[in-house]
Amino acid sequence: MKNFIKLEKQEGARIELHDKLNLTGSEISINVLPANGAIPFIHSHKQNEEVYFIIKGSGKFIVDGEEIYLSEGDFIKIDPVGKRQIFASENGISYLCIQSKVNSLEGYTLEDAIVG
């Protein structure tokens, strides 16, 4: 068994990577909304925090009723209880959504690394 899985660039409105990459510490999805598109519901989470990374385009997030404008290269982290909605601008938007369980991370970077 190799210790890595490579996945080439994916095309589609929503690609979930959990099973493709055999993820065990996070779920990552690639999402594409067309111009003026939207996720048609409000949602929150039970125990996962989410980090969104804007790959291309721009859009508006509404979290607990507050409007936040995001464009290429921006991030937003949302706690589980935040009630969120996502809207593309007239340019459309592509983003990664990274879910992980709150308080599950222990050491990281230097504490967790073995060099050599």
Interface residues toward a second copy, by CB under 8 A: 2-10, 16-18, 21-29, 41-49, 51, 53, 55, 61, 63-64, 66, 68, 70-79, 81-82, 84, 96, 98-109, 112-116
Cβ proximity to a second copy: between 16 and 37 the closer is: 16
One-letter amino acid at 94 equals: S
At its nearest, how many Å lie between a second copy and the CB of residue 107? 7
Nearest distance from C-beta of residue 89 to a second copy, angstroms: 16
> Phi/psi of residue 112, each to 5°?
-100, -10
Q: Which residue's structure tokens are 């060099």?
A: 115
CA-based end-to-end distance of the chain = 21
Closest to a second copy by CB, 17 or 88: 17
Q: Are 42 and 83 in contact (CB under 8 A)?
A: yes
Q: Which is nearer to a second copy, 90 or 103 (CB)?
A: 103
What the block records as the tokens of 20 is 């493709």
